[in-house]
Amino acid sequence: MSAQKNILLLGSGFVAEPCLEYLQRSGNNRVTVACRGIEKAQELASKYQNATAVSLDVENDAALEAAVAAHDLTISLIPYTQHARVIKAAIKAKKHVVTTSYISPAMQELDAAAKEAGIVCMNEIGLDPGIDHLYALKIINEVRDQGGKILSFESFCGGLPAPEASNNPLGYKFSWSARGVLLALRNNARYWQDGKLVEIQGKDLMDSARPIFIYPAFALV
């Protein structure tokens, strides 16, 4: 029988419950749901047998470090701007940490320290980024294994509801923080097109939007 694992889950937003449900499939996982508002954490934790709730302000370094040190693994589902702070606490405690966000410059600066501490610091493993990258490589490798050549590859991911549930004009539903979605629209874009590197500043990102016709239920712009 596997040893019990104590897991700290930071955040109680849209993504937290699916994560908690998955972790609870193993009876060996004991999960502490932590967020600033204890009520939200209690509401989520109360649905599962091996989950408890605590109030935690991640901007309180001492409290964050103590919480991280008391667990085997920390999963950070809070805003990406706080991930570097969480990783610093994990490095200090020599505990593993997981985030779903892109690696920011502040997180990248901690790479050497994380390696020196001997911890796993795993990032970009949500849906986008994460699963979409894995499936992109799967498709590309399958084409190459069959002697094919990739001429062009585009990936569309996230927030697309099933046709029967697509009941709003945009054809999009928030599966994570609405604020986070809107902030992402201000990020810089960088991609390859026709053999050339294209870079778009965040302030100009929405000016580059174009219609995408996937299915009648999906009214993307």
**Which are the catalytic amino acids?**
128
Q: Is the dihedral of CA 155, 156, 158, 160 positive or negative?
A: negative
Taking CA atoms, 170 is separated from 68, 128, 147, in Å, by 40, 20, 39
Strands 196-200 and 189-193, sheet pairing: antiparallel
Alpha carbon distance 153, 191 (integer Å): 11
Calculate the dihedral angle through the C-alpha atoms of 197, 200, 201, 202, rounding to the nearest 10 degrees. Answer: -130
Query: Of 169, 134, 168, 140, which is closest to residue 152 (Cα–Cα)?
Result: 140
Query: Who's near 140: CB < 8 A, 6+ residues apart?
Result: 150, 153
Q: Do residues 74 and 10 touch, judged by C-beta distance below 8 A?
A: yes
The three-state secondary structure class of 55 is strand
